[in-house]
Amino acid sequence: MKLTVRQAPPRSVWALTQAGVHPLLAQLYAARGVLGPDELDDGLARLLPPATLLGTQAAAALLADTMARGQRICIVADYDCDGATACAVGVRGLRLLGASQVSYLVPDRVVDGYGLTSAIAERVQAAGADLLVTVDNGIASLDGVARARALGLKVLVTDHHLPALLAGAVVLPEADVIVNPNQPDCRFPSKSMAGVGVMFYVLLALRAELRQRGVFDAQSQPKLDALLPLVALGTVADVVKLDSNNRRLVAQGLKRIRSGHMPPGLAALFEAAGRQSNAATSFDFGFALGPRINAAGRLADMTLGIECLLTDDATRAAELARQLDQINRERRDIEGHMREQAMLAADAMIDEDEEAPPAVAIFEPEFHEGVVGIVASRLKDRLHRPSFVFAPSAAPGKGHELKGSGRSIPGFHLRDALDLVAKRHPGVLLRFGGHAMAAGCTILEERFEEFEAALQQVAREWLDAATLTRRLETDGPLAPEYRRTDVVEALHKEVWGQGFAAPTFSEELDVVSQRLVAEKHLSLKLKHQGQAVDGMWFGRTEPLPARCKLAFRLDADEWQGVRRVRFLIEGAEL
């Protein structure tokens, strides 16, 4: 592993410190591209205007007309946390704004697959809906949208994924309205907004439209900020880049949660996860609440997750949160078994020079398709290679097909790689989609080895030794005066995540002593700038030399009533 240090432009650091930002935070923000204090203003007034997101005004008019006629709206969701929160935001927000007939439908991962299909469009029409609204899907659902329109439904697509490509050209579904920052001709600056953020923006535009129509005025209009805790959860859980606009959405959601203002389902999920909502962080979304919502879509029915986010009954919310927690425990068990098998298969691929192939694809007949994405992510982290994991399709009559999920490394665009595989090997990919860092595909079991060879060939052409070297960006040495628990707590309150990484420091440290804990973690006694400090490296079993360059995050633990700083080790340059 190569540890590198982010560069913080001195002019930006100066501008931030002059504005009263803590010197350490000023350094960290500047190294992440923040140029001035205005970018740190998380007030709602600083959000990008909804009118700048292509399609929002047309969507608002379509929704307002539908509501005025008393017609029925059905939201078609996705089965991950972004889709679940986007659905809950849509249902709650539309009802808040006066829609009397709002329902939702969430596809089954196994039976329906991803996105708006023709079969789902038929179910929506049969249920009596007049307007079909997609959230976190739909931009690539050409057939599903066409079928819905043919059945007489109006269709509003809200999504954030990349559009479909046919013969190398972008093709959009023929919906009545599309709202997606990644559609052609949309100049909205925040291209990384999650699906839940897109739906929230549609609701902001709808409120403005209803205000213009005289349904309510600025004083009597419903407050949509009650939806921000859900927007924050979906944004972080979907691992989208936390640009300044997304950070504002997350920060506003966290403020409301910390003050106790959140739907009962979120409060119940914090309780089930053993986390304190009054000290909520973006890490809670990504590693505690998000996985519990996602587990329902992976192993059961995402309706459980959506109902947990929709209910206003605290007792029911607690019961649903307990169910989600139990499903997540099952998911962890399945994932652990699959991960062990995947790692053994990966180890068998490493040659005598301890080099893994440039890309990895693994399939085992007993794998569960709901967990392949998580295992692919673990495999990618272990090998620092683009990684795909496949499982047999559980859909009726599809046992000969494999469902695969992939995760990539910087410098290897996974969706583009699949597109090239499809061009070079016609028919090997039955379906595929995704983006740069994550993608999914379906192949025939008999063509797995052909897919594996084709993917590795693309990787050999696109990746060089520098790209295949694992690199960890850090913030350099930690000044000893910042090794304090109040600094740790201040850092934890900030919004960190994808594209705005949590602070990770690096420097040469003395390893005074080390021991294994639970046979899988390394507990360390370190010396930092001449002072003793505890350290922990989770998942590491190999011993460290007496002095080495370590990358670490700051944490605080409590022992006999005393809170102390400790270092959580992220990597080492050995």
pLDDT tens track for 430-465: 988 877 888 999 999 999 999 999 999 999 999 998
Residue 435 confidence (pLDDT): 79
Q: Which domains does the chain have, with CATH numbers?
A: 45-327 (3.90.1640.30), 350-462 (3.10.310.30), 472-573 (2.40.50.460)
Among 479, 446, 447, 461, which Cα is nearest to 413's?
461
Amino acid found at 56: T
Rounded Cα distance between 175 and 144, Å, is 10
What is 316-352 written as a DSSP string? Answer: HHHHHHHHHHHHHHHHHHHHHHHHHHHHHHHHHH--T
Residue 399 confidence (pLDDT): 79
Rounded Cα distance between 199 and 181, Å, is 11
Rounded Cα distance between 113 and 122, Å, is 15
- φ, ψ at 199 (rounded to 5°): -65, -40
Indicate the pairing of strand 164-166 with strand 154-158.
unpaired
pTM (2 decimals)? 0.92
Rounded Cα distance between 464 and 461, Å, is 8
Rounded Cα distance between 205 and 198, Å, is 11
pLDDT means per 10 residues in the chain (574 residues)? 95 96 97 93 95 98 98 96 97 97 91 89 97 96 97 98 85 97 96 97 98 94 97 95 96 98 98 96 96 93 96 98 97 93 87 79 94 94 94 86 94 94 95 86 96 97 92 96 95 94 97 94 95 95 96 90 93 92
Distance of CA 432 to the CA centre of its chain: 19
Among 332, 285, 263, which Cα is nearest to 498's?
285
Q: Outline where DSSP puts E strands in 174-297.
A: 177-179
562: left (phi over 0), alpha (psi -120 to 50) or beta: beta
Rounded Cα distance between 77 and 59, Å, is 17
Among 389, 367, 371, which Cα is nearest to 380's?
389
3-class DSSP state of 39: helix
Residue 145 confidence (pLDDT): 98
Amino acid found at 317: A
Residue 352 confidence (pLDDT): 57
- φ, ψ at 73 (rounded to 5°): -115, 130
Indicate the pairing of strand 401-407 with strand 387-392.
antiparallel
